[in-house]
Chain A
Amino acid sequence: MDNAFDWTFFSEVLVGGLLAGVMYSLVAIGFVLIYKTSGVFNFAQGSMVLFAALTFVSLTERGLSFGAALAVTAAAMAVLGIVVENAVLRPLVNRPPVTLFMATLGLSYIIEGGAQLLWGAQVHALELGIQDTPLEVSGMLISKFDLIAAGISAGMVAVLSLFFRYTRTGLAFRAVADDTFAALAVGLRLPRIRTAVWIAAGLVSLVAGLLWGSRLGVQFSLSLVVLKALPVLVLGGFDSVPGVIVGGLLIGAFEKLAEVYLGPYVGGGIEGWFAYAIALLFLLIRPAGLFGGRTLERV
């Protein structure tokens, strides 16, 4: 090793980590939306990501154009959200959190199995038409794909924020997230709002599925991106959208930096578990997360 610290290389790793982190945030936001309105930790989020990616790629392989496949998949995710909320979660409303968690765990496998039944089990390549050529930005080499993926994720977050800020459904969502019991008492139609949120979470999964799918290939391990989102949720707080954005960036950055700078000393392979070490540390120090308002329990 040289004596002089290579700052350009450091920045390159950092930016790469941050961009990957944005994509973690994207998956984590799906969790937050549902957690805030239903108090459910939706373990099936990963399966929804897989289901979306698999549906999209199977449709394009059958000759649908990008736009048509996107529209059909979006519709399918909306239907999935409506069915899950109405058929599974509504009958279980007011049950203890662990019951709801088990329900989404079961749901996770049913959605995966359903996707397999529908589209088969082989691995698909997903081509979004984004060239993954490195861009040179002030001496650093940055993946163009990562940059565009981060841009799309940021756009998604912006759209969601505007939706929650300026629409009636958005206002109702914020009210339910703030005080569910008061929302019930004042006559807000919770089932309707929760259904809307499941649809929104489905659309977020679609975007996450396309981005992650085109990076990792569309296969069943794609549903494991849920495991990447967990440390982000712990760090950012289960009930905070800004929290998971910051959490995602931090996890992405730390993960890559640790892999590059600490990895060689311990024989590599840190990336897989380092995020969990941070999350664990956070659980011990600040269980509500950086921005979380309350601890993880149904209110």
Chain B
Amino acid sequence: MSALRVNTGEGREPSPASEPLLRVAGLEAVYGASIAALHHIDLTVRPGEIVALLGSNGAGKTTTLKAISNLLPAQRGKVSRGEIHFDGHDVLKKSPSALARLGLVQVLEGRHCFRTLSVEENLITGGLGRSSSRREIAEDLEKVYAIFPRLKEKRKSRAGLASGGEQQMTAIGRALMTRPRLLVLDEPSMGLAPLTVQAIFKALAELNESAGLAILVAEQNAAVALRFAHRVAVIENGTSVVNESAAEFRRRSDVQSFYLGGGATIASGEAGEVLLQQQQISNKSAHSTF
């Protein structure tokens, strides 16, 4: 249980301020012709920084992330106002594959592995978009296997038959094969056992430290995200309401208990209780999925 405790001590300082790698300003997005999904989102990610994007279910985290990878048009949504820049490029004028080649890639909510492909084939697809050479793909595969040794054991089996944790690792590994500078993750902990979540976040933190990989991660499981993040952004009803360092955010325990819960059951206000709920949810999911 202690693995998930909100905490203390392990907070890491944000890297020195510099030009943001990602800058989202005044973002407004709609689905269809008129269903407003986002009203006003401001967000920045600096090079080498881990930013946690928090908010309850339906607050607009996923839509924000899809807008950042310019994936909304593929789901009949669009950015109706505001701007998104990645490394000086106007994201809204770039295709998702062009963004991936620039170093911005996303691990979708629900993992979205290619289920009929083997784990290794899944990973290789990450190298195809940037036209990696055969040698580069072999090198990158070894790197991914070094980060997630379990994938090496499973490399020949179908991704659809792998466990939830292995699928999440496959999805992350596949994204790493694009050689990103900013990795965007949507709910990586969803439906996974706490230990698996720990292992995945630990691997991400190591990548951040060793390779300076910037990470933007949306999580309902705020407790675990907060332990690794440098900075926190909170979304509420399609509007960003908090934007501060993770350390400061953690100190304000009132805010904490408010945003750490999953969904709308937050009225209890007791952080401990909320954590307990989360624990139950993740245990339940761990049993029910795969």
Docked-complex contact B125 and A171, CB < 8 angstroms: yes
With contacts A175-B114, A178-B114, A178-B115 known, is A183 near B125, CB below 8 A? yes
**Can you show 11 pairs from A to B with CB atoms below 8 A apart?**
A94-B76, A171-B121, A174-B121, A175-B128, A178-B115, A178-B116, A179-B115, A182-B108, A186-B125, A187-B100, A187-B178
Please report A residues at the B interface, Cβ cutoff 8 Å. Answer: 94, 168, 171-172, 174-175, 178-179, 181-190
CA distance A257 to B197 in the complex (A): 59
Docked-complex contact B96 and A184, CB < 8 angstroms: yes
CA distance A181 to B101 in the complex (A): 17
Of the listed stretches B3-11, B13-21, B66-74, B256-264, chain A binds B66-74
Other-chain contact of B126, A168, A174, A186, A190 (Cβ < 8 Å): A186
Chain A residues with Cβ below 8 Å from B129 are 186-189
Please report B residues at the A interface, Cβ cutoff 8 Å. Answer: 69, 71, 73-76, 95-97, 99-101, 105-108, 112-117, 121-122, 124-126, 128-130, 174-175, 178
CA distance A184 to B100 in the complex (A): 10
CA distance A171 to B74 in the complex (A): 22
Other-chain contact of B125, A94, A181, A188, A190 (Cβ < 8 Å): A188
Question: Smallest CB–CB gap between B24 and chain A, Å?
Answer: 18
CA distance A175 to B124 in the complex (A): 10
Chain B residues with Cβ below 8 Å from A184 are 71, 74, 96-97
CA distance A164 to B101 in the complex (A): 24
Docked-complex contact A181 and B100, CB < 8 angstroms: no
Docked-complex contact B108 and A181, CB < 8 angstroms: yes
Docked-complex contact B113 and A187, CB < 8 angstroms: no
Chain B residues with Cβ below 8 Å from A186 are 100, 105, 125-126, 129, 174-175, 178
Docked-complex contact B117 and A174, CB < 8 angstroms: yes
Other-chain contact of B101, A168, A178, A187, A190 (Cβ < 8 Å): A187
Question: Smallest CB–CB gap between A17 and chain B, Å?
Answer: 31
Docked-complex contact B128 and A168, CB < 8 angstroms: yes
| 7 other A-B residue contacts (CB within 8 Å) besides A187-B96, A187-B129, A189-B97 | A171-B125, A171-B128, A172-B125, A178-B116, A183-B114, A187-B105, A188-B128
CA distance A186 to B106 in the complex (A): 7
Docked-complex contact B125 and A185, CB < 8 angstroms: no
CA distance A188 to B128 in the complex (A): 6
Question: Smallest CB–CB gap between A180 and chain B, Å?
Answer: 8
Chain B residues with Cβ below 8 Å from A189 are 95, 97, 129
CA distance A125 to B71 in the complex (A): 51
Chain A residues with Cβ below 8 Å from B74 are 94, 181, 184
Instruction: Return the 5 tightest CB-CB contacts between A and B, nearest first.
Output: A187-B100, A187-B129, A182-B112, A178-B114, A187-B97
Chain A residues with Cβ below 8 Å from B178 are 186-187
Docked-complex contact B128 and A181, CB < 8 angstroms: no
With contacts A94-B76, A174-B116, A175-B114 known, is A185 near B126, CB below 8 A? no
